[in-house]
Structure 1
């Protein structure tokens, strides 16, 4: 290998033998975090079985398979059902990305089944037959297009290797493409939602969601929609049994290791082509991470719209800089907005949005009364301060008045959540 001081050296190596491209084997396994981020959508599509170059295929080589889709931690309460949960389901969070909500914001969302689904549900057919609903990947999702592009790119590398008479590259690309097929087949699955088993009359399925930052989301929906997206669980139904999965994982690991060794022994031209392909694919997968998940999943089963009233749309902003109580964002103001829309306070107590002290109970009762009377301009923050000030004068402990009474659990700290997820 040439070095500075050799004839013809001009800052960079000046001939092919002077360049070393052994790092191409490293390019094949870089990008694990990007692949892991899209693991659900990749393996939920039948295109995951296409033989193709896949950056960091080891991201899919797991000793066990998840049983649940990932959830987002938030406090969720059934407004009328009384259900209390500490997380929001995967697809519900796609419809309303909770992490994107500003602190103390307020949102009202109307969600219902699409007309065709509603017609089927009205007959009771699905409830009787027990067929659980499925949310498939979008047919023309960016991941599908990228999978097809990767397949064509792999075919192009094979053709080039044949032209260059590079047998090592032919074997390496074939093996690493087969590894993605084997791993994709073993991991292929479909998400199935919970469903009511009867058609009895039940209360409305409205739910209230509270984030750790103090934002509230009121979802107005039927019990069927609530069971599918919120109060039920999304489960992973795999096409391959557990024993076959482990065999495929072992085979995929062997194919990957052998192909990585062979990649380092390809000709210079093949290594350039393969290395450039992995760089492009890694960049594209990273780029997909900036797209909303609605681009990847077919949620046409549902329709939704923002139904927030005008006087609640700016809950997270200063509406009157001269009024430091009612005109500035606060937990109390947003809580009042939520009560004003639901005209109920049972969910407040059950979800821990407010302490159970007599002072807070008094404020909640007054808030409920004003909500039912349609007094949307009630000075909720001012009234809360008056009640709490009187409690302090009476010698009460201020710590007992802190709201919310129950904080939202942070990621990884939700009690009782022991099931494996993606």
Structure 2
């Protein structure tokens, strides 16, 4: 589809071009004639400003006050203090990033110009930047990565609280202000429409799809191959809602209850929980079976992924995870790998027959599923081939990005219709 090119300012509270979804969207828009500017967080070794693949990128220093982890180890007083620190940390960091984006966006408006702001949540408070520029005729696109109220409930277990209502308010404000909303799957689209009472024709589903020019098999890591055992792997964020603690306990069951020592698990990624997960691995006596890479370059990631026999998706059932889609699942499939996952609705939609599904949050069953796949290489090959075919026929970014272009066609076509009506 040919779209009318325009000027887009993207806002994202993560590293760019490190965030796969944001990178794919930005580069696709550039390839289709759009001028794209990005305001993001600055990672180690990154420049405050540079042009990345035609994308003018401004980077802000990260502000971190407290660790964002619930703490149940102490008295009620200390748990309350921990919650205050967590909430205070988020409020301060989100306020800082939102205000910093506002300031830099004003600079960009004068230096480079833009017609639309494309905000990737969280935080949903970026709607403030969109609302300000709406006063000057700019459009607003809300890219709904996470359901913030469900994310908060999944991390901290609090449903009816001031924070939940606060998050619901900003979610609704973002969707109401948006000229176009982008959802990662049909579940999110339904929630956007029904919970926030917005028109169905302005919500577009742009699924997480792997860029096959980037995610592709390479030569495996020689050191892993030399181990002569089944190589398991995880790729992705390591935050409280991501289920790495479930995975480690499943690996403990695999090693000590099922008496399997013929495996080694590579855990790729970083996040708020990384230090705690490393400590948990020691506590569970898994030092000889797991390796945390931390954040690594793409070349190393592909080498490790290419070495894996089985890929793991331990996201537990939760208000957020039950309706979410993760790019790691389709990246596993793009590498032709079989998957073990808890049985969640949207994971089934993505992975289909490429995964073995076990009862949600059942660590022992998760371990048994891994054990069975270790012993069945023919099934692993069949599952991997099925997933690879699904990616190539339905889920690769070249296909899923068509809805992104449709969303922008809708955004600027509406502008053209208004101009035509005014001329008449």
User: Which TM-score band applies after superposition, normalised by the shorter structure?
Assistant: under 0.3
Which structure has the higher relative contact order (CA within 8 Å, separation 6+)?
1
TM-score by length of 1: 0.27
TM-score by length of 2: 0.27
